[in-house]
Structure formats: structure tokens, C-alpha cells
Structure 1
């Protein structure tokens, strides 16, 4: 594998499982010193151990990104220290999905928590990290959106709106920070099968019927896209949302 991120540092939120774990592993394999972050220390240390066993460099920093400015700024400060004084790449991956099928079923607490974790937490984390990136001469920020931000479904609108917010912030931050050397982009995943699931089990197969891919994706596909956007290969890419969704959002879905 290429070493496009050799001697760089990266903070990946929500990286103790699934997509975030795959991103942390890929950035480390590309040469970055990665801070794995999440609420579960046991899982986080397991991810770190795996990266180190493969010859990569990683450390775990526990964080509960509850949407408060204090929590996000504290993570930025600790990760910066662990990474030797700088963060070259920030991946805003941490997020939650609260089951709220319809407008009528969404209560105030659920909506507040979705926006706290999915929007406010990465907002304040970026607020803390970006100025230091500018001072250090540049960096790359990659946000995680979702296909549901642009292809509406009759349920899950509250969650979809948080991902739409992150895709909008991606463009706004790109406009604000690009001239100062910080590139901001996003990856929009489609239906992804967590690798710990038995491949024989059906997982949201109905959501991929009729798409060009025809099946759920693997977290490694998302990780590869993030690694590209974080690297100098994407030096001319600003404010983009890269769809990695098997064609779900952009190609007409035909029922089987």
C-alpha cells in the first residue's frame, strides 16, 4: 500500500467500530499516526493494538462527544498533545442514529441528541482544530455525510437532516478555510455492512435492490475514499461530497 500520509497525524472520531475503525486502520496503513477516539476504551484499545500489530502507529483517546463545546475542545487538546503538537487530518465520523421512523414519532430528546452528537460535536471539534491547522500551514478535514441527506425516504427524516447539515457545513468550511490552506470535503456512504456481521445474514438488502452495486458495501470502501481526500492526491478538491454508495443516490433505482 502507498504511504500517502507518511509522517502526518490524524484524529478519527467514532473509530472504535465499523466505518470509523476501517478509516483509522486505513490512515495508519497509509503512514499516519492516528488517534482512535470513542466512548468504549476496551474497543478503542483493541483497534489500536490491531494497528500496531500491522506496523502502524496509533493511540487511543477516550471521548464522549455529547455536543458540548467543552467535550469537543477537550478531545482536540488531548489528541493534539498525543500527536506531538499537531493534527494534520481530522475525520468527523462519530454519529448516532436514533430510531424515529416518522415526524410524529420524534420526541424532543431524540431530536436534541441527534443534533448534539451529529452536528454540534463535529462543529465544535472543527472549531478547535481548524485554527491550529491554519497556524501549522494547512490540513485536511473530512466529514461523514450520508446518501439519505439527498435522497429522501418517508422515515428517518431527523437523522437525514443532521447529515444534510454536515454536507452543507462541508461546503461552508471549504469556502472559509480553503484560502488558509485547509481543505474540507465529505464522504457520503451508502448502505454499509458492518464487517462483524455474518456475511450470510441479510442486512438492508432491500435498500440496495436495483442499484448498480446491487448489494451493501464494506467499510473499507469508505475508508479508501477518506484516505484519498486526506492525501495530496486530492490537493485540488475542496468542498466536495464524494458519494460512495453503490450508486444509491445518483442512479435511478429500479425495483427487481
Structure 2
């Protein structure tokens, strides 16, 4: 019997009718399962991806289910800032006066090729971190009063600190280092967003999570041929985490009552987990936040009125050390 992410998350009986959710990267893998789950719970889901046919299939699956969920698809390339802005605009229109209730920053991947985007930023960092940062910033004024922002990170974030000078170069490129750096940025971004919202007495929350090692998510398609084939075979084994299992924590953070007031935290398997020391560093979080605005050429989102950076409180980025150890898209 199929077990849906909302059931794994313990929120299968919840109804979120009249709410709007945007799930980026939702035409396959974890994002697709998250979008389907929120649709089954009754939300209007903005489905995002680059494959229009796959996007329409997700929309049809949501609307064909026996529930009150509805959906629409918006195509956007996360390497293109103009397309991210278009996605924000379309989402704003979909949410209407009630505002966006759930933003799942899930789009991303592992990319082997060394390249810069048109903005002059290393591709993995731009797609996995800078575009979610841009999208969230452009939607801040359109979030519902109690909205939840959830960012897909990874245990792959554990590694070296982010060297801000490396973000606009691909010298000595390492695909794993680029991925690790982008996932560290995801955790730092979610924590810093949570702190800045809390400093403004906002009820909007921001958390990140590790979904687990998921061969069926599509993450492994970027690995060299033999490794990709081997990982694909793992997806047929009964004990390996599925995309639906990986989506459970995203759905939990988006819907569960017990985390309605939790912000700035990192989760794995629906439990708080302690991220790396670097991920918890409030100064590193703040530097990344400011550098991201500079790279995009935009004003710093949620900047203090006097131009100061605010407190150095990391936002309680603690928790337990139990959880899955692996990487995920």
C-alpha cells in the first residue's frame, strides 16, 4: 500500500483549502511528491520546473485526485534572474490578496560542468542558492502573515566554509565542492531569513531540511555514467528512501501545527538536527546574505532601517544529532 508524504509526516488529516503554495523544482523527485501532497491536502499549488510536459502532468495529477486541490504550472530557468522574477510575479497573481501561504525552495541539483551563469556566478551556487534567495526576496511582501518558507538543503552542507571570492570563478572547479557550498548556503540562508523575520516580530517562519539519500529523486543523474547507473539500481531496493519519503519533512514543515512557531532551524526525518558549526555561525549567515544581494545587484532584503546588520543571534540553529547522512537533490 502506498504511503503518502503527508501520512508519513502525520498531517494526512489536515486540510489547507484556500491556501496557496509554490513548490520550486516540482516536476520530478522530492518536489513533485511535495506538490502532490499539498494538493491532496487541498492547496492551490504553483508547480515550477523547466519541462512543460512534466509540469502539466503534475498539474493534472493534482486536479484529478479526489480532493479540493488545484494547480497551475509556471516554467522558469533558475539560471536566469529574469525568469525567476517572472515566476515571482505569476505566484503573486496566483496567491491574490490572501498572500502566499507556503514557499518550498526545492529546485536545485548537482552539476558536473564548470561554468558561470550570465550573471557571472558559478552555476551550482546560482541555481541552488542565489535564485531561491532572489525568489524569496521578491515574494517577501506577498507572504501571508503566518506563511512558511521551507528550503531543501542536505547533509552535504558539512564541509569547508564558503569562500565568497570563489563565487564568481570556476578555477580548480570541483562539482562536489560546488554542491556542498550551495547546500551550506541553503542552511545559512534559511537561518538568517528566520532571524531577520523574527527581529521584525513577523510570524512567518523559515526552516531548512535534509531529505535523505534518494536515488529516485533524479539527483544521481549528474554523476558519472557507472555511478549514475549504480545509484539508479538502488532505487529498486525496498530499504532505500523514496522521493515520497524525502518529501515528508518538507510537508511536515509546511503544515504541521507543532512547528508553526519554529524558525531558523535545520531538520532531518522530521526532527531538528544540529547543522555544521559553520552553518550556525551568525556572522557567516549575515555575510552570505549581504553578498547574495550584491551578486544579484539588488537592495539587501529585510535590511535594518539604520543600515546595521542586526543581532548576532543564530536563531537557535541547534537540535539533536540524529538523522540521515547522505546527499539529496
TM-score tier after normalising by the smaller chain length: 0.7 to 0.9
Q: Is the 8 A contact 1:151 1:249 kept in 2?
A: no
SS at match of 2:134: helix
Which of the residues 89, 112, 116 maps onto 1:109?
A: 116
Matched residues, number: 230
Separation (CA, whole Å) in 2 of partners of 1:124 and 1:155: 23
Separation (CA, whole Å) in 2 of partners of 1:233 and 1:27: 17
Which residue is equivalent to 2:206? Answer: 184
Q: Is the 8 A contact 2:249 2:268 kept in 1?
A: no
SS at match of 1:187: strand
Separation (CA, whole Å) in 2 of partners of 1:65 and 1:249: 27
Residues 228-247 of structure 1 mapped to structure 2, 5 A cutoff? 228-231=252-255, 232-244=257-269, 247=323
Separation (CA, whole Å) in 2 of partners of 1:123 and 1:80: 16
Which of the residues 161, 170, 174 maps onto 2:181?
A: 161
Separation (CA, whole Å) in 1 of partners of 2:73 and 2:182: 27
Shift in Å at residue 145 of structure 1? 0.2
Which residue is equivalent to 1:82? Answer: 94
SS at match of 2:216: coil
Separation (CA, whole Å) in 1 of partners of 2:159 and 2:124: 19
Residues 1-256 of structure 1 mapped to structure 2, 5 A cutoff? 1-55=12-66, 56-68=69-81, 70-85=82-97, 86-99=99-112, 107-109=114-116, 112-133=122-143, 136-150=144-158, 156-178=176-198, 179-194=201-216, 202-203=230-231, 215-231=239-255, 232-244=257-269, 247-249=323-325
Shift in Å at residue 205 of structure 1? 8.2
Q: Runs of 5+ in structure 2 lacking a partner?
A: 1-11, 161-173, 221-228, 271-321
Shift in Å at residue 165 of structure 1? 0.4
Shift in Å at residue 83 of structure 1? 3.4
Superposition CA RMSD, Å: 2.8
Pair 1:236–1:137, CA change in 2 (3 A): closer
Greater CA drift, 168-177 or 24-33: 24-33
- Give TM-score, length-normalised by structure 2: 0.63
Separation (CA, whole Å) in 2 of partners of 1:92 and 1:5: 19
- Give TM-score, length-normalised by structure 1: 0.80
Pair 1:47–1:193, CA change in 2 (3 A): same
Pair 1:195–1:114, CA change in 2 (3 A): closer
Pair 1:43–1:205, CA change in 2 (3 A): closer
